[in-house]
Amino acid sequence: MERYYQPEIECAPVEKIKALQDERLLKQVQHVWDNVPYYRHLMEEKGVTPADIKGTQDLHKLPFLTKDDLRKAYPYGLMGKPKKDCVRIQSTSGTTGKRVVAFYTQHDIDLWEDCCARAIMAAGGTEEDVCQVSYGYGLFTGGPGLNGGSHKVGCLTVPTSSGNTERQIMFIQDLESTILCCTPSYAAYLGETMKEMGLTPDQIPLKAGIFGAEAWSEEMRQDIQNTLGIKAYDIYGLTELSGPGVSFECSEQSGMHINEDHFIAEIIDPNTGEVLPEGTKGELVFTSLTKEAFPLLRYRTRDICVLSRKKCSCGRTFIKMAKPMGRSDDMLIIRGVNVFPSQIEAVLLNAGYPANYQIIIDRVRNTDTFDVQVEMTPEMFTDNVGEIQKRQAALEAGLRSMLGISAKVVLVAPKTIARSEGKAVRVIDKRKI
Amino acid sequence: MTLNQISVFVENNPGKLMQLTDVLAKHQINMRALSLAETSEFGIVRIIVDDTKGASNVLTQEGFIHSITQVLGVAIPDEPGGLNEVLNILSGTGMNVEYMYAFLGGKETRHAYMIFHVQNPAAAVAALAAKGIDCIDQESLTAL
């Protein structure tokens, strides 16, 4: 039976959701105009005033915000409430440049936790569950978001935070945790470690996992589901918008419902900025409707994605977004071809290798070299050199057909590729361009 | 009458082979025979030790990918034509020798010792025995 945290809005008729969005958008534009000079200035440059925005149909008239704007406005430039009204900051990992700092009023935190609670209930969570939150706590939004959501659902919450794998497994086994929240790469690592310890899926009490904060493929989902004996649900979010819970998967496991009472999603052409019709692939743009302290309008996520309002069997009416096909900042251009790490993962998993790989790109005499390091597994090893080379060649052929360019597969010893317990380091780009 | 050989995956990079010999040394594992098949990126180290099971457990603990293969150990008279005769018998069975390597017999110097990997070790043992050539087992290898 499908469970909802706030069924009155999650399953509301589409017209009701649209009307709510119209009403909230007007208020939010006025709030930003009055309180965020940085964005007001962008609007003025574009010749737009709050009076021009009469509903969601006018959204396209508003200027975009990019990560670059967030860096320029760092730290307080996009704050929508005075410091005395704000109670928290969260921050991005800052791996791609300067950190982004986002602010929250108590009201913002409350709504964010509601969004996470919806995700936990969509994954089957109830007050009977023991929910282990193995996302990092602290500046990272993963831990605090799911922690708050888990409280709201009434789960017994186990705030292990990330790392210390042995202790994670001890708590899963001793407390009989039924829901696990962490990054998919850490879930895969936990699964692998438990398998090595000789634990079979029926000896692991977990029944569901809520995994996000990095790209993962359908094959990786199958892998995690099989080793841990769970259903693995995707969750999506950005610190800039609140954190995890901007969208979440339901029992259909076929795309994530966007919490449309709090966010408006648009798909645009990343080159022209033009809004594309539903069902077209493009860059995902979000407008936050209810955030007080960090009210971003038309924020460009860099995620390439498709939206669909096809009726969902779970009963929710919120529009669904497909798993992002890659981030434009994740995307590698190798010998002029767009390559997403998720494609490489898919080839490996199809060939029976675990998704432990590292892409190493370099430029030698003006040509990109493209190596994919793959860890050897007992299943793939044989005493026969020729046979191993055949398997290596098969992987290379798989990569070539998936990517359209050739990569060199380098087989390495187990556990030589560093697994980080937060986000996995998949790409080492040594090119100096 | 076959021998258990352990084949270990090793990256072809400086120090990687030593990581393996380090582990073997640390656990007092003596290698009776060794051969290395290499490509430019990785190699397979093939070793024969007294206690195969013990060594295999140690390698698993230390995270080395490996497998165990049945091979033949043949004592070949240390004189011209010795190896030729053995190969002659094996080729008579239509069997392909996938790889082979030699090792020293310790105090016993009248024979040279060869390890053979063939598709069907049992049939090869029988064919050699029919011509009066015995294969050694793990125990007699240890005694050498």
- Which of A123, A76, A417, A93 has its CA nearest to residue A245? A123
B100 shares a domain with B36: no
B134 shares a domain with B122: yes
Which residues numbered 374-413 in A keep a CB inside 8 Å of some CB on B?
376-378, 381-385, 388-389, 410-413
Hey, of B65, B98, B100, B117, which one would you mutate to test binding to chain A, going by the most A CBs within 10 A of its CB? B65
Domain containing residue A369 = 332-429
Q: Provide CB contacts within 8 A for A109, sequence distance 6+.
A: A87, A88, A148
Mutual angle of helices B52-61 and B16-26, in 10-degree steps: 120
Reading the block at residue A212, the tokens are 């996000």
Reading the block at residue A373, the tokens are 């390091």
Reading the block at residue B76, the tokens are 């070949």
End-to-end CA distance of chain B: 16
Helix (H) / strand (E) element for B101: namely strand B97-103
- Which of A412, A296, A284 has its CA nearest to residue A63? A296
- Which of A351, A348, A352, A332 has its CA nearest to residue A340? A332
pLDDT at position A433, please?
A: 59
In chain B, the residue whose alpha carbon lies closest to the alpha carbon of A377 is: B65
A9 shares a domain with A95: yes
Q: Do B65 and A388 touch (CB under 8 A)?
A: no
Q: In the listed set B69, B88, B120, which residue is the last one of a domain according to the structure? A: B69
Pick from A383, A413, A415: CB nearest B44: A383
Q: In the listed set B43, B69, B95, which residue is the last one of a domain according to the structure? A: B69
B85 shares a domain with B59: no
Residues paired with A321 in a beta bridge:
A256, A307
B125 shares a domain with B77: yes
Q: How far is CA A2 from CA A7, A192, A205, in A?
A: 10, 30, 21
B56 shares a domain with B20: yes
The size of chain A, in residues, is 433
Q: Provide CB contacts within 8 A for A183, sequence distance 6+.
A: A135, A142, A162, A211, A212, A213, A214, A422, A423, A424
Q: In the listed set A311, A327, A343, which residue is the last one of a domain according to the structure? A: A327
A287 shares a domain with A273: yes
In one-letter notation, the amino acid at residue A212 is G
A266 shares a domain with A152: yes
8 Å CB contact between A348 and A355: yes
Hey, of A358, A373, A375, A383, which one would you mutate to test binding to chain B, going by the most B CBs within 10 A of its CB? A383
B103 shares a domain with B93: yes
A158 shares a domain with A214: yes
Average model confidence (pLDDT) across chain B = 90
Distance CA A223, CA A379 (A): 15
How far is Cα of residue A125 from the mean position of the Cα atoms in its chain?
20
Q: How far is CA B30 from CA B9, B33, B130, in A?
A: 19, 9, 33
Q: Residue B63 above 80 pLDDT?
A: yes
Angle (CA) B67 B73 B79, round 5°? 145
Q: Which residues of chain A have pLDDT under 50?
A: 95
Number of domains in chain A: 2
A75 shares a domain with A198: yes
Mean per-residue pLDDT for B70-81?
89
B112 shares a domain with B65: no
B76 shares a domain with B137: yes
Q: In the listed set B12, B41, B69, which residue is the last one of a domain according to the structure? A: B69
A140 shares a domain with A70: yes
B115 shares a domain with B61: no
A383 shares a domain with A322: no
Contacts of B41 in chain A (CB under 8 A): 410-411
Q: In the listed set A304, A327, A350, which residue is the last one of a domain according to the structure? A: A327
Q: In the listed set A309, A327, A345, which residue is the last one of a domain according to the structure? A: A327
Q: Do B9 and A413 touch (CB under 8 A)?
A: yes
pLDDT class of B141 with cuts at 50, 70, 90:
confident
- CATH number of the domain residue B82 falls in: 3.30.2130.10
A342 shares a domain with A287: no
A83 shares a domain with A198: yes
B55 shares a domain with B95: no
B39 shares a domain with B76: no
A373 shares a domain with A237: no
B104 shares a domain with B90: yes
Mean per-residue pLDDT for B101-124?
84
pLDDT at position A327, please?
A: 66
Helix and strand counts by DSSP (H, E) for chain A: 11, 21
pLDDT at position B75, please?
A: 87
- CATH number of the domain residue A74 falls in: 3.40.50.12780
Pick from A377, A389, A412: CB nearest B11: A412
pLDDT at position A276, please?
A: 95
Distance CA A86, CA A292 (A): 9
A365 shares a domain with A312: no
8 Å CB contact between A17 and A23: no
pLDDT at position A98, please?
A: 64
8 Å CB contact between B35 and B101: yes
A304-333: burial string, b at 16+ Cβ within 10 Å, e else: bbbbeeeebebebbbbbbebbbbbeebebe
Domain containing residue B124 = 71-143
A269 shares a domain with A342: no
- Report percent pLDDT > 90 for chain B: 58
